Homo-oligomer: A and B are copies of this chain.
Amino acid sequence: MASAHGKPGIVCVGLGPGDPDLMSVKADRLVRGALHVAFFRKKGRPGKARQLVQGLLAPGVTEYPMEYPVTTELPVDSTDYVAQLSAFYDDWCTRLALLAQTKQVVVLCEGDPFLYGSFMHLYTRLRERTGTAPEVVPGIPGMVGCWHATGEPITWGDDVLSVMTGTLPEDELVRRMQTADALVVMKVGRNLLRIRRALTRTGRLDAAWLVQNGTTATQQVARLAEVADDACPYFAIVLVHGQGRRPEAAW
């Protein structure tokens, strides 16, 4: 059943932070050679992963958009949210496993699939159901593209870097920020006001940056203190650079 387009199975490809030139050589090869691609998206949206490969897919490729039944409409710890998401992942696990018996399916994921990626939910299910873990190709995480967008290194010397999600309660954000030198806050969106309060309480607001669409043509980099709280996308990242030890220039 193998073809020039790869042997049957599922390969999840980390696409990196946004710029297609920052995809790995391996990811680029897999994406361009794919005959079947699957990707997550919110209903009615193009999907971030799909957008990243615009212009790279082969003519005639078959696309499988995996549309979340719910995203931010329900609390993530509600029974309804968990049940809907669980059924969604179970269903796509079944469909992809069937397809992969005869075809290579390339699953497109922004950033790195193993860092807060939705594919992880399919990965564990596929491993459990088929007895074999799908191949996963690492990618440059979105946060890495975002700290490069600021033009400043994120960690120096013995700096501790903590990566957290803006969905945490404010007191939790404060507690976690207190033992971090450099900070990355993912999943910003409607959590921006709470993130801002936590940064203020830990004395970090003036050092914080907000980066949207890092490494893409629509990249926006701003000091968080100068940004309004409304209309911030979910995929934006807040970061604070470490200020650790370094040998100063002698001149």
Residues of chain A having any CB pair with chain B under 8 Å: 16-17, 19-26, 28, 76-77, 82-83, 85-87, 89-90, 93, 112-117, 120-121, 123-125, 128-129, 133, 136-141, 144-145, 147-148, 151-165, 167-168, 175-176, 178-180, 215, 245-251
Cβ-defined contact, B77 with A245, below 8 A? yes
- A23 proximity list for chain B (CB < 8 A): 24-25
Complex Cα spacing A86 to B249, Å: 6
Given A114-B154, A144-B141, A121-B22 contact (CB < 8 Å): no
Cβ-defined contact, B249 with A128, below 8 A? yes
- A251 proximity list for chain B (CB < 8 A): 90, 129
Could you say which of B26, B83, B157 contacts A21, with CB atoms under 8 Å apart?
B26
Complex Cα spacing A20 to B147, Å: 23
- A139 proximity list for chain B (CB < 8 A): 140, 144
A10–chain B nearest beta-carbon distance, Å: 14
Cβ-defined contact, A85 with B247, below 8 A? yes
Complex Cα spacing A89 to B250, Å: 9
Cβ-defined contact, A156 with B249, below 8 A? no
Cβ-defined contact, A87 with B250, below 8 A? yes
Given A22-B26, A140-B139, A158-B148 contact (CB < 8 Å): no
Complex Cα spacing A145 to B77, Å: 31
Cβ-defined contact, B25 with A121, below 8 A? no
Complex Cα spacing A179 to B164, Å: 11
A148–chain B nearest beta-carbon distance, Å: 5
Supply 21 A–B pairs (Cβ within 8 Å), ascending by A: A19-B26, A21-B24, A22-B25, A23-B25, A24-B140, A25-B25, A76-B245, A113-B153, A115-B161, A120-B156, A120-B246, A121-B246, A129-B251, A136-B148, A138-B145, A160-B162, A160-B168, A162-B162, A162-B180, A163-B163, A175-B179
- A154 proximity list for chain B (CB < 8 A): 114-115
- A26 proximity list for chain B (CB < 8 A): 19, 21-22
